[in-house]
A = this chain, B = another copy of it.
Amino acid sequence: MTNSTSSAATAPQVVHENGVGEIKLLSSTDDDYGGVIVEMDGPMDSTTFLSILRASISHWRQLGKKTIWIKLPIHLVSVVEPLVKEGFGYHHAEPEYLMLVYSILESANTIPANATHRVGVGAFVMNEKREILAVKEKSGPFIGVWKFPTGTVDQGEDLCAAAIREVKEETGVDTEFVEVLAFRQMLETYFTKSELFVLCILRPLSFDIQVQEQEIEAAQWMPWEDYAAQPFMEKQEIKKMNEAFWAKIDGHYSGFTPHLTSSSFSDKKCLLFLNSEGA
């Protein structure tokens, strides 16, 4: 007997328990780590929910399950307090849901860590006249500076695609990915979360500029000398990035290039970034 179904739903399952009677259990799917995942969606009365939840936990315990995950959409916020009082903890949250977790087997190792980093991307894009694609932002810490386009990798997005997307959104220029020039880890940039910023080189495939007016004040192809002469570029970190880029243009720097692979232990999409020149 198993309570795992391929479709996750809130409609409780009816399970025959040793022929003695019928109890309702929450529908769930198994994860790869000995846990079960319940995706709630429909509305449910708190009292009914709690009795079904308790029967389900007891059932999963008998099956030797280690961890129970409940993904609770924000419209079911009334169930958060009862779940916490039953011993569930917070794991992570997104605007549309809260993920709660309960350890049947007491061991910190069975609960995977939450995401700790945002991933940012920035892109050097140079045309054949050795002009660099530069933007001025409307707000934020870089006001008044001509800088390379930057942005944040979306949930589930690969970072090469993110760099191409951000350049297209901010400037209208189409590009293809060349390599990762450098990356930076910045600690605790927002609350307790850190950021990994990946600096890329992209090759332009189009040249007409169309500014995204919501975030960008202006964009242009700019002679490298003018770009690098801005006082802002004297900052140590920026200077090192510019030097690496110029060394690359001069042919004596190699960054990391992406190789599409699959994980050694799952079928998840992977990009492996390596120094291809040396390998």
Given known contacts A269-B186, A275-B255, A117 and B196 CB-to-CB distance under 8 angstroms: yes
Report whether A90 and B84 are in contact in the complex, using a CB–CB cutoff of 8 Å. no
- Give A264's nearest chain B residue, CB to CB: B235
Q: How many residues of A contact B (CB 8 A)?
A: 89
> Smallest Cβ distance from A82 to chain B, in angstroms?
9
Q: Is A207 an interface position by the 8 A CB rule?
A: no
Q: Is A183 an interface position by the 8 A CB rule?
A: yes
Chain B residues with CB under 8 A of A272 = 182-184, 237, 240-241
> Smallest Cβ distance from A92 to chain B, in angstroms?
5
Interface centre among A188, A193, A214 (most CB of B within 10 A): A193
Given known contacts A142-B265, A253-B275, A94 and B185 CB-to-CB distance under 8 angstroms: no
CA distance A240 to B235 in the complex (A): 36
> Smallest Cβ distance from A83 to chain B, in angstroms?
9
B96, B182, B237, B261: which contacts A237 (Cβ < 8 A)?
Answer: B261
- Interface class of chain A by DSSP: mixed
Given known contacts A156-B192, A268-B186, A95 and B99 CB-to-CB distance under 8 angstroms: no
Besides A77-B84, A80-B80, A181-B274, 14 more A-B contacts (Cβ < 8 Å) are A90-B98, A93-B99, A114-B115, A115-B116, A116-B154, A155-B192, A182-B256, A183-B183, A183-B272, A184-B261, A184-B271, A235-B264, A237-B272, A240-B259
Chain A contact residues, CB within 8 Å of chain B: 71, 74, 77-78, 80-81, 84-85, 89-99, 109, 112-119, 139, 141-142, 152-159, 181-194, 196, 214-215, 232, 235-238, 240-241, 243-244, 247-248, 252-256, 259, 261-266, 268-275, 278-279
Can you list 27 A-B pairs, Cβ within 8 angstroms, ordered by A?
A: A74-B90, A80-B80, A90-B94, A90-B98, A92-B191, A93-B99, A113-B152, A113-B154, A115-B118, A117-B117, A117-B118, A117-B196, A182-B272, A182-B274, A182-B275, A183-B256, A183-B273, A189-B268, A196-B196, A232-B264, A237-B261, A237-B262, A237-B263, A237-B264, A238-B264, A240-B279, A248-B278
